[in-house]
Amino acid sequence: MFNTDKPIENIGADLLNRASFSEQLANAILSYTNTDNFTISICGKWGSGKTSILNMIEKHIDKTTSEYDENRKPIIIHFNPWNYSDQNQLIIQFFATIREELDIHSKSESLSKIGNALQAYSEFFDYAELIPVAGKFIKIAKLVMKRTGEEISKGQSDNLSIKKKEVTEALLEQQQKLIVIIDDIDRLNNNQIRSIFQLVNSLAGFPNMIYLLSFDREVVARALSEEQNCDGEEYLEKIIQVPFDIPEANQNLVHKVLFDKLDKLWFADTPDIEFEEDYWYSIFNHCISPFIKSIRDVNRIINVYQFKYSLVRDETNGIDLLAITTLQICAPEIYDWIYTNIDSICGSVYTLGMSADEQKKTYNNYLESFEEIYYNPQLMMQVIQTIFPKFSFRTGGYYHSNDSEEELRRKQKIACNTRSSLYFTLSLEDVAISKQELLESINCYNKDELEIYLNDLVEHNKMLEYARELCSYTDDIPEERKELILKELINQLTLADNNESRGLFQASPSYYILECIWKILISLPKDINEQLFLKLLDSAQLNEFSVIVGLILETERAYGRIGDNIKYNYRFLDEAQLENIEKTIIRSLKDRIKNDDVMSATSFYSVYVFWYHIDKVSLDDYMKSALCSAINVLKYLTKIGANHWNSNHGGGWGFNADGFDGYISDEDAYNSILSLKQTEDFRKMDEQSKRIAVAYCLWYETKERHIEDKSIDEHIGDWM
């Protein structure tokens, strides 16, 4: 249910503790026994609750006087001046409104007499005349009644003063007060505002009438100054006997209204929703609270927010969505700047290497630009630092959270560069992998369903996004499903599409797939991992086998058994278990080389390095035999010996001298590959292998360090 921003109708709906103020003012009105005309003003800014206070005053008067005699009960009259655009019409309709209300209550002769006197008085308002108001003569309307206009002009009829006197006498003869409520005077144009105060002060300044007016004092004073060419504040002081300024709403109560509405949105249907309490306090205090001044602000924000929330609640962080909605409603300048600069303030990496001086300089540069955007640049800086931790790091801030990139993604925060656009577009098409879709894949799919799903992602070029999202949700994978997920992820590493680079600044899907695998392995007990790997090695196809060996190779490095780059995080086996796995891999390799083309394995490089360090004797025997084949020489280059490079001017391939670890010479390798030129075997090769073959021969012939792609393009036709 959207909040209509309507004023409250009764004291029971009061959320800001204005009831006491309203009741006291109502009691003061009722206790006023003097017959003089009396004017009270309720002043406050737009949205401060003026109409709500008027409603509560009226309700309290009705309740308090419910047992009064009919001839003592006050008559409340509402006049809506904004319904009338013409000044003359406004004056005439004012008296018509009073007469109509008196007709409703006319159970006594005195009220009928007042009504008749007002009728006669109001009929004079037609032709122009000067009327004294607040010590000055102001031309306000045409003041001669139509029906008797000719008589007046001839001096044969009662004048206006006599008719006004008759109204005055009729009002004095009875005990009932007429309470005239005129709300939202500040919504009128300047001319209409002037007319209202002329009515109250002169034309309708009758005894036993109490005026209760509400308006924004600044707006009305300015209008009167412009219309009257005088001091508007002084003008009001002469007309209004009792001015009241609405006290500012207690911010704790305004916040409570917001919290109550959020409780219904966030927790009514999902009481167990994940809620980051510390983050909420930070965002609320720095990015939401500074902009909320009234209930109207709350309603405006909640109206927009609940619409957005219903669309993207499953794909965004509810706290961030509220913060950005608050900015959209209350500080659109900040909202627009964030939208325009979202990519740079999200960033791709943390800038931990920045010095304090660099951070201070960056801060000052941004602050200077913010001065041209928002009236409070420090507040703007505080907001952006709080929501965007990478921006905060660059500017030396301390309001931000310490979420890692994975945590930002898992919590679906706006600071995650793969989610940020959704907060502005509200288009689920911007979400490559929905949270529901991802959770279904790790919780529900069986082996066949998961394999089909992952292969479909590859086909539609979405595996990068899936693997990146999965990295943030590995802790959510049920223990009993980790083996299934691991096996399928290992299988994905065998696919060429997942190992292809996406450019200089974007990792391939395999990078994130490996991250997922490591996170799952580290979460499992080491004895479980040992049994799992023994099982996987026993059933794996060649490509899967090579990927598994690559994982074990990293564990070897983690213990310093191979190389000197120790990575403690990869110790998902202890050393005794690792030795057991080593023996199993070597036995499997010796069996596989009898029937499998091991050199064609997806991760042959990992197999080669592992084999080289664990059992070089059996590797030497295999390599000496395998490299007798020209095709295997090229496979070796493709898997191990060729280095691809890219630059702004293009790319190409490079090779190292004696790159075959002594198994064959560069000359023998060159002659073997050259023998493939213009053969059917060469024409059947994949494009990359063909280019490496041409590049190697050019490298050997020219002795150049790198062979550019354009040189390969010039010669490859000769090889076909």
The answer, yes or no, to whether residue 136 has pLDDT greater than 80, is: no
Tell which residue, 283, 256, 274, has the closest CA to residue 314.
274
Q: What is the rounded distance in angstroms from the CA atom of residue 718 to the CA atom of residue 720?
A: 6
Quickly state the pLDDT bin for 552 (edges 50, 70, 90): very high
Amino acid identity for residue 610 in this structure: F
Partner residues linked to 182 by β-bridges: 213
pLDDT of residue 22: 83
The answer, yes or no, to whether residue 129 has pLDDT greater than 70, is: no
Mean pLDDT of 715-720: 91
Question: Mind listing the pLDDT tens digit for each residue in 372-386?
Answer: 999 999 999 999 999
Whole-number mean pLDDT of the chain? 84
Amino acid identity for residue 405 in this structure: E
Partner residues linked to 179 by β-bridges: 76, 210
pLDDT of residue 431: 81
Mean pLDDT of 326-339: 95
Mean pLDDT of 671-677: 94
Tell me how far apart the terminal alpha carbons of the chain are, to the nearest angstrom.
Answer: 71
Which DSSP string do the residues of 186-243 spell out, in sequence order? GGS-HHHHHHHHHIIIIIT--TTEEEEEEE-HHHHHHHHHHHHTS-HHHHHHHH-SEE
Structural domain boundaries in the chain = 11-245, 251-430, 446-462+476-623, 634-719
Structure-token match 């090779």, residue found? 655
The answer, yes or no, to whether residue 122 has pLDDT greater than 90, is: no
pLDDT of residue 37: 84
Q: What is the rounded distance in angstroms from the CA atom of residue 646 to the CA atom of residue 519?
A: 31
R_g over Cα of the chain: 42
The answer, yes or no, to whether residue 32 has pLDDT greater than 90, is: no
Is the CATH number 3.60.40.10 carried by domain 11-245? no
Integer angstrom CA distances of residue 279 from 284, 308, 339, 469: 8, 21, 22, 21
Give the CA angle between residues 122, 128, 133 to the nearest 5°.
75
Mean pLDDT of 23-47: 84
Integer angstrom CA distances of residue 81 from 124, 183, 189, 641, 654: 20, 8, 11, 89, 86
pLDDT of residue 17: 60
The answer, yes or no, to whether residue 5 has pLDDT greater than 80, is: no
Question: Mind listing the pLDDT tens digit for each residue in 252-285?
Answer: 878 888 998 898 888 876 766 778 899 999 999 9
pLDDT of residue 31: 85
pLDDT of residue 617: 94
Q: What is the rounded distance in angstroms from the CA atom of residue 318 to the CA atom of residue 435?
A: 14
Quickly state the pLDDT bin for 640 (edges 50, 70, 90): very high
pLDDT of residue 565: 75
Quickly state the pLDDT bin for 16 (edges 50, 70, 90): low
The answer, yes or no, to whether residue 20 has pLDDT greater than 50, is: yes
**Exposure string for 350-362, b = 16+ CB within 10 A, e = fewer:** eeeebeeeebeeb
Question: Mind listing the pLDDT tens digit for each residue in 469-508?
Answer: 999 899 999 999 999 999 999 999 999 888 887 655 578 8
Mean pLDDT of 137-162: 45
pLDDT of residue 66: 85
Is residue 113 within 8 A of residue 168, CB to CB? The reply is no
What the block records as the tokens of 234 is 């002084």
pLDDT of residue 9: 52
Question: Mind listing the pLDDT tens digit for each residue in 421-468?
Answer: 999 988 877 788 888 899 999 999 999 999 999 999 999 999 999 998
Is residue 470 within 8 A of residue 512, CB to CB? The reply is yes
Quickly state the pLDDT bin for 247 (edges 50, 70, 90): low
Amino acid identity for residue 158 in this structure: D
Residue 289 DSSP one-character state: G
Is residue 598 within 8 A of residue 589, CB to CB? The reply is yes
User: Three-state SS for 564?
Assistant: coil
Mean pLDDT of 84-98: 74
pLDDT of residue 51: 84
* CB under 8 A, 24+ apart: contacts of 375-380: 379/290, 380/331, 380/333, 380/334, 380/337
Other CB atoms within 10 Å distance of the CB of residue 368: 10
Mean pLDDT of 337-350: 82
pLDDT of residue 232: 86
Q: Where are the extended beta strands (E) located within 52-159?
A: 75-78, 128-133, 136-142
Strands of the 650-655 sheet, one edge to the other: 642-647, 650-655, 706-708
